[in-house]
Amino acid sequence: MAAMSSHRLLFTQLHLCNSLLLIHVHHATSLNFRFDFSEPGSYCTPGSDIACAGDAYPYARTIELTKTDISDRNLRSIGRAWYARPVQLWNNTTGEVASFRTTFSSQIKPVNLDVSADGLAFFLGHYPSGIPHRSYGGNLGLFNGSSNNRNATGTARIVAVEFDTYMNKEWEKDGNHVGIDVNSIVSVAAISPDKNLTSGNTMTAEISYDSSAEILAVTLWINGTSYHINASVEIMDTPYLHGSYIPAGYRCRAPNLAPPYNGT
């Protein structure tokens, strides 16, 4: 959990705009789906392909992942949006693992440009899944804050790409970075685009997994500048799934402390 005490801390607003996910298993049929959120009611509604939970809600052809009403009632706001159909990541019979690529655009809009928190993440996890207990703050809606957030086990296991906008001194070196998380809030690889994450500009991220090389790669574009990281992730040796189907989606966390006059 982020330890925040500054009275200058203000709300971070996040928009999830366009999303594309491609899944491919060798010698099998590819799966792809794309969403542009141009049709009201096509997401975050019962039966739609994009489901929302927690504080996430549709707004003006985007998805707001946390509450935007700045008040003390909205402390520890957590939201999640995900593809509502289970995605087959590997074949239990043949052992073949899928390669995949997803591209999405987002904006992080802090009220205060100097201080913001906490961030958002793209995740792959157990199906079906829910928002973990006490996952506010630096846990980014990914890990249970009441248990070990550095060694998730069982159905709590997860692979995620975090876009973090606050430094948690216990495990992070700075407050604006992109990291790859494997069953732990401590990233196995990270890169720092500095304050670009909270510039309010539209960011486009591409996340891909090469099953033959077992490499998870992330490229982020902001204002014509690209940032790239990758890490070795052995999906079959990371049994965070009980079965071969997963949910794919996005989670984010707003600050867990607020200024005295307009909290998050």
pLDDT score of 27: 46
> Tokens representing 144?
């249970």
pLDDT score of 40: 76
Beta bridge partners of residue 53, listed in sequence order? 80
pLDDT score of 242: 37
CATH number of the domain at 12-253, out of 2.60.40.1120, 3.30.930.10, 2.40.50.140, 2.60.120.200? 2.60.120.200
> Tokens representing 32?
């792809």
Rg of the chain, C-alpha, whole Å = 17
CB count in 10 Å sphere of residue 27: 7
pLDDT score of 141: 81
Q: What are phi and psi of 88, to 5 degrees?
A: -80, 120
Helix (H) or strand (E) holding 101: strand 99-110
CB count in 10 Å sphere of residue 261: 9
DSSP one-letter string for 193-239: -GGGGGS---EEEEEEEETTTTEEEEEEEETTEEEEEEEE--GGG--
Beta bridge partners of residue 105, listed in sequence order? 204
pLDDT score of 249: 65
pLDDT along the chain (264 residues), means of 10: 33 49 55 75 86 87 77 71 81 81 83 70 82 81 80 83 87 88 92 84 92 94 95 68 52 42 23
pLDDT score of 222: 94
Cβ contacts of 213 within 8 Å, gap of 6 or more: none
Nearest Cα neighbor of 42 from 94, 104, 93, 84 is 84
pLDDT score of 252: 56
pLDDT score of 89: 79
DSSP state, residue 197: G
pLDDT score of 225: 93
**Model pTM greater than 0.85?**
no
- Is the Cβ–Cβ distance between 119 and 94 less than 8 Å? no
pLDDT score of 256: 40
